Amino acid sequence: MGTRTLDHAEVVSRCFPPADGIPNHPDLPMVAIRKALAPGTGPGDAREIYASNGWGGMWTWGVFPFHHYHPDAHEALACISGSAELMIGGASGERIRVETGDVLVLPAGTGHCFLSGAPDFKVCGAYPAGQEDYTTLSAAALPMDEAAAQVARVPLPESDPIYGTDGPLTKAWGLRH
C-alpha cells in the first residue's frame, strides 16, 4: 500500500459562499492536504488507502472541464500523476494548483472545474460509505434553495479518506470518534 505521512504535509482549508449557480457547503471547508501521499503512490495504492478508511466508489481519471458539484456526496481527489490548475467554489471561487501527492476533500455542494494541467494529470476519486452513488450537476442545474437543502442533508463521513480517524479532515470537519 502507498504511504502517507503528515510529517511534510501542508493543510489548507477554505470555505466558499454560494455563487455562480454553485451551492458550495454552508458549513464545511474544502480541505487541501499538500504532499499527503508519498512519491510513487499509484491508483491501486490510493484505492487501498481509501478503502482502509471506509471510502469507496473509486475511479481514476481527470476532473471535468466545466463547473460542477455533487449535491449528495462529499468527494476526495488524490492527485496521482501530473499537476493541474483547478477552480474550486464556482466561477468566482479560487484557483487551486494540485500536484502529485496532493489530496483535496470537497464537501458536498462544492464546485470544481479543471482549468489546465499536464498531459499526465490524473486523480483518484472516492466517496464516504453510503455516498458512492452520487449525482453530478453543472452550475445552476437546480434552484439554489433546493441544491442547498440537499447539500445540508449529506451526512458527515466517519473518517478522513487518507489518515483515518485522526487526520486533517477529522479536525477541520469536527468528526467525532
Q: How many CB atoms lie within 10 A of CB 91?
A: 13
The length of the chain is 177
Cα distances (Å, whole numbers) of residue 160 to 30, 50, 51, 55, 121: 13, 9, 11, 9, 23
Q: How far apart are CA 52 and CA 54, in angstroms?
A: 6
Q: How far apart are CA 91 and CA 78, in angstroms?
A: 22
φ/ψ of residue 87, rounded to 5: -105, 120
**What is the CATH class of 10-157?**
mainly beta
pLDDT of the chain along its 177 residues, tens only? Answer: 455 656 678 899 999 999 999 999 999 999 999 999 999 999 999 999 999 999 999 999 999 999 999 999 999 999 999 999 999 999 999 999 999 999 999 999 999 999 999 999 999 999 999 999 999 999 989 999 999 999 999 999 999 999 999 899 999 999 875
The residue ranges of every structural domain in the chain are 10-157
pTM value?
A: 0.95
Q: How far apart are CA 144 and CA 174, in angstroms?
A: 26
**Residue whose cell numbers read 499527503:** 36
For the segment 43-76, what is each residue's pLDDT rounded down to a tens digit?
Answer: 999 999 999 999 999 999 999 999 999 999 999 9
